[in-house]
Amino acid sequence: MTLAVHIHRLATRDHTLVQDLRFEVAPGRILTLMGPSGSGKSSVLAAIAGTLHSVTEGSEALRFDGAVTLDGRDLTRLPTAQRGIGLLFQDDLLFAHMTVAENLLFAVPAGPKRERLAAVAQALDEAGLAGFGARDPATLSGGQRARVALMRALLARPRALLLDEPFSKLDAALRDQFRAFVFDHLRDSGVPAVLVTHDAADVADPSLVVELGRAG
């Protein structure tokens, strides 16, 4: 399941954010996308996931010229829901009206109830949050919420995963711990991942780094 991205041009009406960007990510590998603020990192992720229109509601629309292929399949024309690409935002965005377990359950694909519940329980265990299922997400700490968000993204069995500065909201100690947690799970799950950050310490694989220039 290789993720191949080619961005010919990502631009607003007035100026171009990104031009001629190409990269490939093999299964289980993590590509790091770096660059200063304003260089369009989040927009690149949005273009890959197909959520461009949502991200730019109200401001000028972004136009994307290029191709996204996953395992040889061209995803460029597909709506977000059909791409199978997971997205982890900076904010954990746990749904406020659902408990932790319901948030996780939301992501599990359809199937027999018992199996779904078992998958959720296992995910909680792996995140070290066993017994937190019935809790209101607002009562969890930042680190705990970040873990739940990641598990939620993984439970949906994505074929690729995009992470938008997932560690920026955590303090230094928690950062290292969580980073190791994320990289381990990603490698185990065997999906290609793209990580956006401006912190060099977040690089997972030094051979897979792409630098985005300043806004042109």
Partner 1 sequence: MRLSSNVSRRHLGAGALLALAAVPVLWTALEALKTGSHPAAWRALAQDPALTHAALLTLWTGLASTLLAWWGAAALLARGFVRQRLARLLRGLPVMLATPHAALAIGFLFLLAPSGWLLRALSPWLTGFDSPPPWATTQDPWGLGLIAALVIKEIPFLLWTAATQLQRDDVRQRWRAEHALAQTLGYAPRRAFWLVLWPQLASRLRWPLLAVLAYGLTVVDMALVIGPATPPTLAVLAWQWLQDADPATYAQGAATGVLLALMVLACSALWLASQQLHRRALAHGHGVRGPVERTPGSGIGLWLLLGVYAAVLLALAVGSVSGVWAFPAVWPQSFTTVAWEQVAQSSGTVLTTLWLAAGSSAVALVWSVAWLELAPRRWDDAMRPLLYLPLVLPAVLWVVGLYGVGLQLRLEGQVSGLLIAHTLMVLPYVLLSLSPAYLGFDPRYAQLNASLGRSGGAFLLRVKWPLLKRALASATAVGFAVSVAQYLPTLYLGAGRFASVTTEAVTLASGGQRSLTSAYAGLQLALPVLAFALAAWLGRPRRFTHSAA
Residue 79's nearest CA partner among 114, 105, 53 is 53
The binder of partner 1 chosen from 9, 67, 106, 135 (CB under 8 A): 106
CB under 8 A: which stretch of 20-28, 32-40, 86-94, 123-131 binds partner 1? 86-94
By C-beta, is 121 or 203 nearer to partner 1? 121
Select from 90, 188, 202 the least CA-distant residue to 146: 90
- Find the binding residues for partner 1 in span 114-143 (CB under 8 A): 116
Q: Taking CB under 8 A as the rule, which mask of x and - marks residues 144-183 in contact with partner 1?
A: --------xx--x-x-------------------------
Q: Contacts with partner 1: how many residues (CB under 8 A)? A: 42
Tokens of 215: 């806004």
The answer to whether the CB of 8 falls within 8 A of the CB of 20 is: yes
Part of the chain binding partner 1 (CB under 8 A), chosen from 19-27, 29-37, 54-62, 176-184: 54-62
Q: Which of 2, 19, 51, 189 binds partner 1 (CB under 8 A)?
A: 51
Cα–Cα distance for residue pair 154/29, rounded to 1 Å = 15
**Is 15 near partner 1 (CB under 8 A)?**
yes
1 binds partner 1 (CB under 8 A): no
The only residue of 79, 138, 141, 171 in contact with partner 1, by rule CB under 8 A: 79
Closer of 67 and 93 to partner 1 (Cβ): 93
Q: Does 86 bind partner 1 (CB under 8 A)?
A: yes
Report which of 57, 46, 79 is spatially closest to residue 162, judged by C-alpha positions.
46
Question: Judged by CB, which is closer to partner 1: 36, or 38?
Answer: 38
Q: Point out which span in 66-74, 82-90, 123-131, 138-146 binds partner 1 (CB under 8 A).
A: 82-90
Which residues contact partner 1 by CB under 8 A? 12, 14-15, 49-51, 53-55, 57, 60, 79-87, 89, 91, 93, 95-99, 102, 105-111, 113, 116, 152-153, 156, 158
